[in-house]
Amino acid sequence: VDWTADPRRDQAWYDAKKSETPPGKMAQEYPSNPREAFLISGRPVFDTAVLDEMAQTALLALPKDELPPSMAKLTGLSVYKLPEKGHWYLLGADCSEGKVHGDFNCCVVLDFQTFEEVACLHNKLPPDLFAAELDVLATVYPGRLAVELNGPGVAVLSHLRPMPIRNVRPYQLHHETRMLRDPDIPNAKAMPVRELGWRTTVQSKPKAISEWEAAIRKRETKINSPRLVSEHLIYRTNDDGSTSAPSGKHDDTVMAAAI
């Protein structure tokens, strides 16, 4: 219900209220439309008008009976486009511990040719089961799978590393090279070490979020999942300059997509 529903309120009332209300609070307290009603106070990172457009043109998820059997069994999978022959895919995964009241696992699949979201896996499975589902998804959508190297992500990667019993893995696991010194050798020189996964740091997270924000603003990507749209709408810049979902909300789809 928007602010005009109260007959005592007119434009003059709204303008006066706006002049005395902190920035960002008007949409929360006195929304003019449904989108504003669900915005949380703060500075949204992503262009809300573009997200609205994407929501209006989003594809509907395909029914389960139209999916290949291997995909139909995956927990919390939404598919918007089936894999196309000759296409390469980018899969970003944000992992959780699989606890009932904890965060979600999420894997967002983008078509590398179009940057359109074609699938989203969203569940609360424990690391070993989520790893098994990631393997199935990345096999169906071959390309590069980047798993965030946080606490639960380490466990997921430990299960993914030896998983394929095929001679050739049909997808690549993203890795990074770090310069590390052997702590047991005095004055040891730093050596390059290959590390599986995508490591979130104070440098890498802002860079990923910034590039993803630009891709959305410039319409270089297309989001289809309602869950992605809703989490992107409330993702905000905090007073200290960091970015996150508001307290008590989730941003796993934002991180998975940015990765």
pLDDT at residue 96, as a whole number = 85
Could you tell me which residues come within 8 angstroms of residue 43 by beta carbon, excluding any fewer than 6 positions away?
A: 24, 236, 237
pLDDT at residue 40, as a whole number = 54
pLDDT of 213 higher than 80 = yes
Helix 48-57 and helix 204-217, axial crossing angle in degrees, nearest 10: 60
Residue/partner pairs of 84-88 with CB below 8 Å, 24 or more apart: 84/111, 87/111, 87/112, 87/113, 88/112, 88/113, 88/142, 88/143, 88/144
Q: What is the pLDDT of residues 105-145, one digit of tens each?
A: 999 999 999 999 999 999 999 999 999 999 999 999 999 99
CA atoms of 226 and 102, how far apart (whole Å):
21
Of 40-49, 148-157, 230-239, the one with minimum mean pLDDT is: 40-49
Q: What is the pLDDT of residues 9-66, one digit of tens each?
A: 999 999 999 899 876 677 778 888 766 665 555 688 999 889 989 999 999 999 999 9
Which of residues 192 and 251 earns the better pLDDT score?
A: 251
The model's pTM is 0.81
Report the SS3 class of residue 151: helix
pLDDT at residue 180, as a whole number = 74
